[in-house]
Amino acid sequence: MFERFSTQARQAVAVARSEAVSQGTRQIGCEHLLIALAHGRSGPAADALRAAGLDPATLSELAAGRRPAEPLDAEALAVIGIDLDRVRRAAEAAFGPGALDHPHQGPGMRRRVTMTADCKKVLELGLRQAQRSHDRTLSSGHLLIGIIDQGDNGALRLLESAGADPAALRADTERRLTAAA
């Protein structure tokens, strides 16, 4: 899949992973990809985001503020005989409510992160968009358009908190993509 990504797009995915890790989440979501695109020094997505006044630091802070709890999967653990409710009750009795609900954020920790289904969908949508471009390469602009077209994800909610207009952002990104071609 990544063979058809531009260098900038590949870089964005890598930065999205670091952003997810530093936010202490288990999954790379669209919001991390959005923040990564905002970090770009140039390119249609970075330029469009900058033009809309959306800087990575603000987006990152907003994302951190709305981090939801990530409870463990009781069903998966039941498969191997672990009664998560019992473990959780004991942990909360000793360490307070929500004790087991967040991944630990340690400075030296190696996190295993996967991508959310929404984020995977965005990459797919981006690839489809890229097919129609003249060099068939997925650029950062296609990723941003993919995020907006997917219609319901963490990045769109983040844009909403930041007071941005996704439709206008999409139009600007498309304009810049066409200009760059």
Partner 1 sequence: MGLAEAASGPDPAAGLQAARELRELAERLEALQVANARTRGWSWQEIAFFLGVSKQAVHKKYAGRT
- Applying CB under 8 A, the residues found at the interface with partner 1 are 26, 72-73, 75-80, 82, 84, 87, 91, 94-95, 99-100, 102-104, 106-109, 112
* Phi, then psi, of 178 in degrees rounded to 5: -65, -40
Smallest separation (angstroms) from partner 1 to the CB of 180: 41
When the beta carbons of 83 and 160 are compared against partner 1, the nearer one is 83
Count of residues in the chain: 181
Query: Any bridge partners for residue 114, and if so which?
Result: 27
Count of C-beta atoms within a 10 Å radius of residue 89 = 12
Contacts of 106 (CB under 8 A, 6+ apart): none
When the beta carbons of 115 and 138 are compared against partner 1, the nearer one is 115
Contact in structure between 100 and 88 (CB atoms under 8 Å): yes
Smallest separation (angstroms) from partner 1 to the CB of 62: 25
Smallest separation (angstroms) from partner 1 to the CB of 63: 21
State the DSSP code for 9. Answer: H
Query: Any bridge partners for residue 138, and if so which?
Result: 5
Contact in structure between 133 and 5 (CB atoms under 8 Å): no
Smallest separation (angstroms) from partner 1 to the CB of 20: 15
When the beta carbons of 100 and 162 are compared against partner 1, the nearer one is 100
When the beta carbons of 7 and 22 are compared against partner 1, the nearer one is 22
Smallest separation (angstroms) from partner 1 to the CB of 127: 25
Contacts of 78 (CB under 8 A, 6+ apart): 84
When the beta carbons of 4 and 102 are compared against partner 1, the nearer one is 102
